[in-house]
Amino acid sequence: MSASGARWSNWAGSESVRPVRVERPASVGAVQRAVQAAAAAGLRIKAVGSGHSFSGIAVAPGVQLDLNDLSGLVAVDESLDQVTLAAGTRLHQLPALLAPHGLALANLGDIDRQSIAGATSTGTHGTGGGFGGLATQITAVTLVTADGGLLRVNAAENAELLPAARLGLGALGILVDVTVQCVPRFLLHAVETAEPLEEVLEGYLDRSRTVDHFEFYWFPHTGSALTKSNTRLPGDAARAPVGRLSGWVDDELFANGAYRGICAAGTALPGLVPGFNRLAERLAGRREYTDASHRVFVSRRTVRFHEMEYALPRHLVPAALREVRALIDARGWRISFPLEVRSAAADELWLSTAQGRETGYIAVHRYHREDPAEYFHAVEAIMRAHDGRPHWGKMHYRDAETLRPAYPRFADFLQVRDRLDPERRFSNSYLERVLGR
């Protein structure tokens, strides 16, 4: 089904476009026909996912493919704990799809609104020094290529393309399904508490190695970090979930409802922000609970924001965060949103932000009604000085010239792009900037 395009915008409101045409295919064959029709009309075509990227990676001025109807479980290989999912399947749908098979994803980020294809294509990750991002869990993909053909990429077919296709930025074709290596379902024992920031920075490298999933948040203008330590437990271990009232107060009232008002007030009266952040620091208490992995990994986020995230060699994270703290103080900025610090294992995907090195992540945010440019540009300069790589799905200001030296296999990826999409049928202005024309 096709229609003329209404104006589309991403979740944060940082990107928008009015496509020439919107296609909503419900089958792989319909995706192939949409690609062929776009080529015949001389239009570019892109799948849009859930629109949760902060960058322009999914912007589709030509033909926008909405894959909501290409969703669900395609196949299960219980002998290998692998599942094949249609590309439009949302991450929040996976627990219900995997539960009958006793499976779970090995790791998740703290937002689950993304489509499986969009999440792997942009390098979505969670935290855990021994765990890779979502794309490292992909064992096979099926692409619709620029001529409308189907290309299967796995260990037995076109295996040389796997390091590119598992994290392809949407530049190689339209993903129609992905095969994911799952694990037996498991629980997480979570401990959340406030600790002195300097002590957390001193212990970050050790905790990122020894805790299964460690992360922390730092609210500017405070001296504390809010730490989250998650330990993996067998699926049949005893659950002790957060109480319904306690969870509503912490996650809905404070983290979303009240916080929205605080951010809005801080936008109008920036001088209030340090006091608000110090109040949050004082109110943060210890919370301990055990629940199914996806319920612990994922947090509900209703307050909209802009985000930039950089991947650094892990040992450089504490120094870089200290420089950002000094920058905020020196500029006199009032920053209401916290910085988030996570980690990931090294991998060998050509455009993965963790390619070839143990990685730490620093994410910075601004409320969606605030202009993030000055803050993000200045933070990016610090991250670049620490050999940082920007998250492909989040805001940044890099281009192909500056990104090429950051990725040893950058040229190899471009060769695959030239092979699969020589006419740049799947390109847009963002991909032209970060990969070249």
Residue type, 220: P
Enumerate residues 6+ apart whose C-beta is below 8 A from 325: 218, 220
The Cα 189–Cα 95 span in angstroms is 18
Cα–Cα distances (Å) from 67 to 166, 177, 349, 368, in that order, read 18, 11, 25, 26
Is 39 in contact with 83 (CB distance < 8 Å)? no
- pLDDT score for 4: 58
The predicted structure's pLDDT at residue 271: 76
Amino acid at position 227, single letter: T
Closest CA to 127 of 299, 377, 385, 348: 299
CA–CA–CA angle 362, 365, 367 (5° rounding): 170
Give residue 263's pLDDT.
73
CA distance 154 to 87: 16
Cα(117)–Cα(327) distance, rounded to whole angstroms?
37
Dig out the tokens for 137 from the structure.
Answer: 């869990």
The residues pairing with 291 across neighbouring beta strands, listed in sequence order, are 188
Q: How far apart are CA 146 and CA 173, in angstroms?
A: 6
What one-character DSSP code corresponds to residue 271?
Answer: G
DSSP bridge partners of 313: 359
What is residue 251's predicted lDDT score, i.e. its pLDDT? 58
Q: Which pLDDT belongs to residue 249?
A: 44
| pLDDT score of 243 | 75
The pLDDT, as a whole number, for residue 410 is: 98
Query: For the chain, what is the radius of gyration of the CA atoms?
Result: 21
**Residue 340 host element (H or E):** strand 339-344
Question: CB–CB of 182/98 below 8 Å?
Answer: yes
CA 165 to chain centre: 17
Q: What is the pLDDT along the chain (437 residues), one digit of tens a residue?
A: 455 568 999 999 999 999 999 999 999 999 999 999 999 999 999 999 999 999 999 999 999 999 999 999 999 999 999 999 999 999 999 999 999 999 999 999 999 999 999 999 999 999 999 999 999 999 999 999 999 999 999 999 999 999 999 999 999 999 999 999 999 999 999 999 999 999 999 999 999 999 999 999 999 999 999 999 999 999 999 999 987 655 544 555 455 556 667 677 767 777 777 777 777 777 777 899 999 999 999 988 778 899 999 999 999 999 999 999 999 999 999 999 899 999 999 999 999 999 999 999 999 999 988 999 999 999 999 999 999 999 999 999 999 999 999 999 999 999 999 999 999 999 999 999 999 99
